[in-house]
């Protein structure tokens, strides 16, 4: 069994302790500020979150993006994240070999 499939089963528990929550909030805030300062995406653009895991970066994608895709290597992570984000096309895959054509995304995250 893949390590990330095992991790998926305990992810919420591990991230629910107070220290992890503080770290996640700080990470989210830093990434959000970075995206706001550095990323200028066209309206109605497309974004791809590589290695999405539980989708922590999905909520930080600029609102101008109208189509969002996410890929993760772990079937378990994809199954859990798909339940949380119904408007995102999430699939199992390898970030090194996607089916998306070159230059088809306006924003790609790999955090």
Length of the chain equals 111
Cα torsion through 106, 35, 48, 63, rounded to 10: -80
pTM of the model: 0.78
Model confidence pLDDT, tens digit, residues 62-81? 777 889 999 999 998 999 89
Reply yes or no on whether the pLDDT at 13 is more than 90.
Answer: no
φ, ψ (nearest 5 deg) of residue 31 = -65, -40
């Amino acid at each position: 069994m893949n390590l990330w499939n095992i991790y998926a089963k305990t992810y919420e528990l591990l991230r629910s302790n107070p220290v992890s929550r503080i770290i996640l909030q700080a990470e989210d805030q830093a990434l959000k500020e970075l995206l706001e300062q550095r990323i200028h995406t066209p309206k109605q653009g497309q974004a791809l979150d590589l290695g999405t895991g539980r989708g922590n970066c999905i909520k930080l994608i600029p609102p101008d993006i109208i189509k969002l895709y996410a890929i993760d290597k772990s079937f378990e992570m994809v199954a859990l994240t798909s339940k949380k984000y119904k408007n995102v096309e999430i699939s199992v895959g390898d970030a090194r070999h996607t089916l998306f054509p070159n230059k088809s995304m306006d924003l790609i995250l790999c955090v």
